[in-house]
Amino acid sequence: MDNELKLQTTQRVLCFSLGKLEYAIPLISVREVIAIPVITSVPYTPPHFLGIMNLRGQILSVIDLRMKFSLKSSRTEETAVVICDLQSLCVGFVVDSVNFVLEVQENSTRPNPQLVPPATNDCIVSLINNNDRLIMLLDIAKALNLEDHSALNKASALQRAA
């Protein structure tokens, strides 16, 4: 799986903010970006698992990446949900703002120096150097741990029961 996310010669990424930090995910994994919808809580799930939402008849799970990475969570006009296709899952991730799409050259990345918060170490693939700003390239699927998968399974069971 590590080899899948290594940048080819060029790759387009969606850049977004979580607090004062900038992150990116490969654009190919992004289905769409939407405003914060009505979210229904799912009992007995972690605090960063906000619940489920209805997107044009499809029930999706929503995870607040800010809370997941132990960052301050507040809603503004720019707060958005990035809908990602992760193999067999489709999950919405709440971010502070979606900034831009960037075409990244392989030679403008650096390996993760393991200096970032431990909660994000496993899911940060590399650092992108963009005009003297560092953007952390995430493997969004690796951001989900066993507790998250358990919550996603609960949400999926609710969807089947509906």
- Burial-class residue 90 by CB neighbours within 10 Å (0-12, 13-18, 19+): middle
Does residue 2 carry a pLDDT above 50? no
pLDDT digits (tens, 9 = 90+) for 145-160: 777 877 777 777 766 6
Does residue 48 carry a pLDDT above 80? yes
Residue pair 16/99 in contact (Cβ under 8 Å)? The answer is yes
Does residue 1 carry a pLDDT above 90? no
pLDDT digits (tens, 9 = 90+) for 63-79: 999 999 888 888 899 99
Does residue 29 carry a pLDDT above 90? yes
Q: How far is CA 16 from CA 20, 40, 82, in A?
A: 10, 24, 9
The domain tally of the chain equals 1
Residue pair 54/81 in contact (Cβ under 8 Å)? The answer is no
**Domain carrying residue 31:** 2-161
**Residue among 108, 116, 99 at smallest CA distance from 22:** 99
Average pLDDT over residues 83-105: 92
Spell out a b/e string for 40-59, using b for 16 or more CB atoms within 10 Å of the CB, else e.
Answer: eebeebeebbbbbbebeeeb
Quote the pLDDT of residue 153.
Answer: 77
Residue pair 126/109 in contact (Cβ under 8 Å)? The answer is yes
Residue pair 53/92 in contact (Cβ under 8 Å)? The answer is yes
Give the CATH number for residue 13. Answer: 2.40.50.180
Quote the pLDDT of residue 43.
Answer: 87
